[in-house]
Each structure stands twice: as structure tokens, then as C-alpha cells.
Amino acid sequence: MPLINVVLTLLVVGILLWLINRYVPMQGTIKGILNAVVVIAVVIWIVNVFGLMHYITQFKVGH
């Protein structure tokens, strides 16, 4: 995926999240959960786009 597509996708997600946070009335805890879910999803997507998901899924704790 070209870098420009990644940047544009991040901009669109960021703007949509800002619009939801700004104009949709909701309780603060729900807004925090929504923000956390979006950030986690974007981080997982970025890791997958850059091909690092294989290294994360193969990570083992312990012996």
C-alpha cells in the first residue's frame, strides 16, 4: 500500500473521530472507550500494513 494512501486513511479516520467527539453528544466514558477502540484498531491496521503482524503473532512469553 503506498504511503500516501496510509496517510490519507489516517487523516480520514482522525477527522471522523474528531467530528464524532465534537458533534455527537455522548457520555465521557463512552467517548473514551470509542477513542481507545479506534486507536487500537488503527495501530493494528498500521502494523498489518507495514507487514509486522507476523512478528507480533509469533511473539512468545516464557519458554
Within-domain flag for 22: yes
Within-domain flag for 63: no
Q: What pLDDT is stored for residue 56 in this prediction? A: 79
Radius of gyration of the chain (CA): 15
Within-domain flag for 43: yes
Q: Give the count of domains, the chain.
A: 1
Within-domain flag for 8: yes
Mean pLDDT of 5-21: 96
Structural domain including 13 reads 3-57
Helices marked H in the chain — which ranges?
3-23, 28-49, 53-57
Q: What pLDDT is stored for residue 54 in this prediction? A: 84
Within-domain flag for 62: no
Instruction: Quick: pLDDT tens for 20-59.
Output: 999 999 999 999 999 999 999 999 999 999 988 888 788 7
